[in-house]
Amino acid sequence: MVSIDVWNASVDFPIFDAKSRSLKKLALGKVGGRIGAEGRVPIIEALHDITLSLRHGDRVGLVGHNGAGKSTLLRLLANIYEPTRGSSRIQGKVAPVFDLGVGMDPEISGYENIMIRGLFLGMGRKDMEKRVDDIAEFTELGDYLSMPLRTYSTGMRVRLALGVVTSIDPEILLLDEGIGAVDAAFLEKARDRLNDLVKRSGILVFASHSDDFLVELCSSAIWMDEGRLKMHGSLREVVKAYKGRDPYEHLSPDTLERIGQAPVMSGNGGE
């Protein structure tokens, strides 16, 4: 069963400046009374007291100002950071798409990058070989896949990254805002595929500043503010509270129908 449970989790970053990161300082600090070096390290509380529970089928948007803790929360959910206080339990195969530049080698071809990404996400080499054609078709990159990655545009990299994560049947998909670089046609395609994926097997958490993306991909939302979970509810309510306007008000009836929202103001945004 796919699930994400986080109880009272906090993430504190110790900020070591050049001085406190050295052994010398630690040794000197021991002389003349116990001043723990840890105690003098300034701490940034990136997440504070987060309690969260997500289940199968949840498509959650993360909104909030820069530095509100969206990316850190995503990394907590990806098991990259273990909470410094509190606890978390993430069950299911996690596939994160954060920084598009990381884990991708600009000098090697798209095909090879697909392979490496897949291996990093816990797939076997044979599994990935089977999926390469599927990914090639989905990304529409064609012959470009045999070119070195440095020749790709940002949008093409996003396509590649999305192609890989959606092809490996992840159970928990975590997307950071970077994917905004794709064009509308591809977004539509990706949306169908992501929705399909979430319906079949999982949870989507997506951090974005773009209403359009959020509306397309998410049903509920979390508003992060200064490392705290300020609001968790339906997408419509949360975005309305965060931005002060209804995210659906400018959308055409076609779009609304497609994403399953009533055009009237009494929306029932999931949850």
Partner 1 sequence: MRDAWRQRELWEHLGWQDIKQRYRRSIIGPLWITISMGTTAVALGLLYSQLLGQELGTYLPYITVGFIVWNFILGCVTEGTEVFIANEGLIKHLPAPMTVHVLRMVWRQVLFFLHNLVVYVVVLAVFFPTLTHEYKMDGDIVPHPGISWTVLLAIPGFALLTVNAVWVALLFGIISTRFRDIPPVIHSFIQLVFFMTPIVWPVGVLNKFTNGEASWKVLIAEFNPIYHFLEIVRAPLIGHALSWHHWVVVGAFTVVGWALAILALRNYRSRVSYWV
Taking the C-alpha atoms of residue 7 and residue 20, their distance in angstroms, rounded to an integer, is 31
Pairing of strands 85-91, 3-14: antiparallel
Alpha carbon distance 207, 72 (integer Å): 11
Which one of residues 5, 45, 112, 226 is an interface residue with partner 1 (CB under 8 A)?
A: 112
Asked if 97 contacts 106 with a C-beta cutoff of 8 angstroms, the reply is no
Whole-angstrom distance, CA of residue 94 vs CA of residue 111: 22
Burial status of residue 126 (CB atoms within 10 A of its CB: 0-12, 13-18, 19 or more): exposed
Decide: is 22 part of the binding site for partner 1 (CB under 8 A). yes
Contact between 175 and 204 (Cβ < 8 Å):
yes
Residue in 28, 35, 119, 262 binding partner 1, rule: CB under 8 A: 119
- 99 contacts partner 1 (rule: CB under 8 A): yes
Number of residues that bind partner 1 (CB under 8 A): 35
* Nearer to partner 1 among residue 151 and residue 268 (C-beta): 151
Asked if residue 8 binds partner 1 (CB under 8 A), the reply is no
34 in contact with partner 1 (CB under 8 A): no
Q: How far is the CB of 262 from partner 1 (least distance, A)?
A: 38
E runs forming strands in 15-162? 43-55, 59-63, 85-91, 94-97
| Region binding partner 1 by CB under 8 A among candidate stretches 19-27, 189-197, 202-210, 260-268 | 19-27
We find the least distance from the C-beta atom of residue 104 to partner 1, in angstroms, to be 10
Which single residue is written with the structure tokens 């990404």? 117
Beta carbon nearer to partner 1, 25 or 191 = 25
Nearer to partner 1, 109 or 201 (CB): 109
Asked if 140 contacts 119 with a C-beta cutoff of 8 angstroms, the reply is: no
- Which position among 92, 109, 116, 271 is part of the footprint of partner 1 (CB under 8 A)? 116
* Interaction of residue 241 with partner 1, rule CB under 8 A: no
Q: Which of 140, 235, 133, 132 is nearest to 183 (CA)?
A: 140
Query: C-beta of 218: minimal distance to partner 1 in Å?
Result: 22
28 lies in the binding site for partner 1 (CB under 8 A) = no
Q: Report the DSSP beta bridge partners of residue 7.
A: 87
Which residues sit at the interface with partner 1, rule CB under 8 A? 13-14, 16, 18, 21-24, 26, 75, 78-82, 84, 94, 96, 98-99, 101-103, 105, 107-108, 112, 115-116, 119-122, 124-125
